[in-house]
Amino acid sequence: MKDELLVGVQLFPFTYLHEGVEQTLKRLREWSAVNAIMLVSANRGESKYAFGKRWDSGHENVLGPYKAKGGFYSNPHLDLYDGTALKPVKCPEEGLSDIDSLDVTIDAARPLGLKVYAMIFEALYANQPEALYKNTAIALAQDVLGRPAMQGCYNNPHYRNFLLAMTEDHIRNYDIEGIYIEFEGWGMQSPSYFLGLPNKGMPICFCDHCMDAARKRGWDGDRARKGFLELIERRGAPDGMPDDGAFVESLRIMLHYPEVLAWESLWMQTRQRMFLEIYGTAKAIDPDKKVGWNVNSPVQTMPVARAAYDYGTAHNYSDWVKPNVHNAFAAGMFDQSVHRIHHGLLPDTPRETVMDLLLNVFGYEPPFEAEPFARERFGTKTRFGPQFVEHETLRIRRKVQGRVPVYVGLDVEPPVSKDASDSLRGMEASVNAALNAGAEGIIMGQFYHDWPRESLEAVGRAIRARA
Nearer to Zn ion, 205 or 345 (CB): 205
Nearer to Zn ion, 203 or 452 (CB): 203
Judged by DSSP in three states, 352 sits in helix
Closest separation in Å from C-beta 223 to Zn ion: 17
Closest separation in Å from C-beta 205 to Zn ion: 3
What span, in angstroms and rounded, lies between the C-alpha atoms of 24 and 38? 13
Strand 48-49 vs strand 66-67: parallel, antiparallel, or unpaired? antiparallel
Nearer to Zn ion, 141 or 282 (CB): 141
What span, in angstroms and rounded, lies between the C-alpha atoms of 30 and 265? 45
Residues numbered 161-190 forming contacts with Zn ion, rule: CB under 5 A: none
Residues numbered 185-244 forming contacts with Zn ion, rule: CB under 5 A: 205, 207, 209-210
Tell me the number of residues near Zn ion by CB under 5 A. 7
Judged by DSSP in three states, 28 sits in helix
What is the DSSP secondary structure assignment for residue 3, as one 8-state letter? P
Nearer to Zn ion, 12 or 159 (CB): 159
Q: Helix crossing, 259-285 with 221-235: angle to 10°?
A: 120
Which residue, among 179, 172, 123, has the nearest Cα to 151 in the 3D structure? 123
- Binding pattern for the stretch 116-155 against Zn ion, x by CB under 5 A and - elsewhere: -------------------------x-----------x-x
Residues numbered 421-450 forming contacts with Zn ion, rule: CB under 5 A: none
**Paired residues of 450 in beta bridges:** none
Residues numbered 39-58 forming contacts with Zn ion, rule: CB under 5 A: none
- Binding pattern for the stretch 286-305 against Zn ion, x by CB under 5 A and - elsewhere: --------------------
Nearer to Zn ion, 229 or 357 (CB): 229
Judged by DSSP in three states, 220 sits in coil
Nearer to Zn ion, 156 or 301 (CB): 156
Nearer to Zn ion, 86 or 109 (CB): 86
Closest separation in Å from C-beta 83 to Zn ion: 18
Nearer to Zn ion, 56 or 208 (CB): 208
Closest separation in Å from C-beta 198 to Zn ion: 21
Question: 3 to each of 6, 126, 405, 440, 458, how far by Cα in Å?
Answer: 9, 36, 11, 8, 22
Closest separation in Å from C-beta 177 to Zn ion: 33
Closest separation in Å from C-beta 208 to Zn ion: 8
Closest separation in Å from C-beta 162 to Zn ion: 14
- Alpha-helical (H) ranges within 155-296 are 157-173, 208-216, 221-235, 246-256, 259-285
CA angle 211, 217, 222 (to 5 degrees): 35
Task: Give the chain's end-to-end CA distance (angstroms, integer).
Answer: 13
Closest separation in Å from C-beta 210 to Zn ion: 3
Please provide the DSSP assignment of 396-443 as one string: HHHHHTTSS-BEEEE---PPP-SSHHHHHHSHHHHHHHHHHTT-SEEE
Nearer to Zn ion, 146 or 402 (CB): 146
Closest separation in Å from C-beta 228 to Zn ion: 14
Contacts with Zn ion, residue ranges (CB under 5 A): 141, 153, 155, 205, 207, 209-210
